[in-house]
Amino acid sequence: MLRNKGSLKTKNWLVYAVFVGPAVLLCILFIFLPLVIGVYYSLRDWNGISVSSNFVGIQNYVKALTDDKFIGTIGFTLKYAVVMVIGYNVFGLALAMILNMKLKLRGILRAVYFMPIVIGTSTVGYLWNFIIGTFLPFIGKTFGIGFFERNWLAYPETAFLSLVIVSLWQGTGYYMIIYLAGLQSVPSDLLEAAQIDGAGLKDRFFKIIFPLIRPSVTVCLFLSIVNSLKSFDLNYSLTSGGPYGTTQTIAYRIFLDAFDADQLSYASAEAVIFSLIVGVIAIIQVKASRKKEVEM
């Protein structure tokens, strides 16, 4: 009996190792190891090319935290993230609600809204760069629509707006799918019962649907916060951080410092600070929204 129990335990361990092992190995190789190396380089003065580098302590961190440009990009990224998190979730949930109804073209519409996320973000950026920068001004001038006559990418406010619109256009479908999955797990008998008891649309949404899709909300909030804080490719391909650096996100700034300005160590320090910021925000959010989840 005893021997049997022991072998069962080792057997379990083997099963765990087989399932978790590869993932852990990949994580160590591609996430933890680079992270450690990144921290290591952030304490040195390597430019990314030279053969040798020296230890400089926390000098890079001090410089990053007193660098107005870097602080400025943090401000911009937070602003962008707030707008995007609201946008993604409000539009994502709204679309999911609509496409959860019994519409004729439901399947096709779901596919259509999800489609943009399949296209690479930089491709989307270059396409919209042409649409916003060249095509819309042409339409505006031809038909005299004042709104479109100016090149939106040349002015800070409209460049920001372009960024938001294109991000929404591309990303909303992704959150819609997660919300749809959540909505479909809401039992219809509950809703019917509520309806018979005289609950209106508003009550049904806030008292039944919303509490039940809390797990989806948690996931969507988390993903949208992290994704918009990390935003890089669209800034790179749509606005190139312009006009005059007003749409630079942290990730884009780090990229510029590392590879354009040849200050890889300094950029590593920025990246470590950035990870801490994102980590803290994400953990607070997950903790806060987990508390409010209910289980059936």
Partner 1 sequence: MKSKRVVAMLAAVMMVMSLTAGCSGGSGDGSAQGEESEGGEKILTVYQGTAQYSEMIEQICKDYKEETGVTLEWEIPSDDPYTVLKARFASGEAPDIIDLQCGDYDTWYERCVDLSDESWTGHVYESSLNGGSYDGKVYGLPYAMEGSGIIYNKELFAQAGIESVPTTITELREVCEKLEAAGIQAFGEAWGDWGFLMHILGIPFTYEGAAETSERLTAGEETFSDMEYMDDFFDFYDLTLDYGWGAESIGHHYDDQANSFAQGEIAMIKQGTWHTDTIASINPDMDLGLFAVPLTDDPGQTKLQVSTTRFLSISNTSENQEEAKKFLNWFYENAQTYMIEQMSIIAPYDNLDLSETGALNMDMNAYVEDGMVYDSFGIEEWPSGFNTDQAEPLQAYASGVMDREEACQTLQELWNSRVSSSSSEE
Query: Which chain residues interact with partner 1 by CB under 8 A?
Result: 27, 30-32, 34-35, 37-39, 41, 45-51, 56, 59, 63, 67, 133-134, 150-155, 222, 226, 230, 240, 242-245, 251, 254, 256-264, 266-268, 270-272, 274-275, 278-279, 282-283, 286-287, 290
Smallest separation, CB 204 to partner 1 (Å): 27
Smallest separation, CB 15 to partner 1 (Å): 17
Smallest separation, CB 33 to partner 1 (Å): 8
The answer to whether 80 touches 163, Cβ cutoff 8 Å, is yes
Count Cβ atoms below 10 Å from residue 52 Cβ, excluding itself.
7
Smallest separation, CB 258 to partner 1 (Å): 6
CA distance 35 to 45: 17
Smallest separation, CB 90 to partner 1 (Å): 23
* 7/47 with CB nearer partner 1: 47
* 116/242 with CB nearer partner 1: 242
* 181/289 with CB nearer partner 1: 289
Angle of CA points 248, 250, 255, to nearest 5°: 85
**Which of 18, 16, 77 has the alpha carbon at shortest distance from 249?**
77
**Which of 216, 223, 183 has the alpha carbon at shortest distance from 84?**
223
Smallest separation, CB 269 to partner 1 (Å): 9
Smallest separation, CB 277 to partner 1 (Å): 9
CA distance 213 to 210: 5
Smallest separation, CB 122 to partner 1 (Å): 9
* 95/264 with CB nearer partner 1: 264
Count Cβ atoms below 10 Å from residue 274 Cβ, excluding itself.
23
Exposed/middle/buried for residue 92 (C-beta within 10 Å: 0-12, 13-18, 19+): buried
CA distance 100 to 181: 9
CA distance 259 to 30: 20
* 48/116 with CB nearer partner 1: 48
Q: Which long-range contacts (CB under 8 A, 24 or more apart) does 67-72 make?
A: 69/245, 69/253, 70/250, 70/253, 70/270, 72/248
* 116/133 with CB nearer partner 1: 133
The answer to whether 40 touches 22, Cβ cutoff 8 Å, is no
* 100/218 with CB nearer partner 1: 218
* 38/116 with CB nearer partner 1: 38
Q: Is the dihedral of CA 265, 267, 273, 279 positive or negative?
A: negative
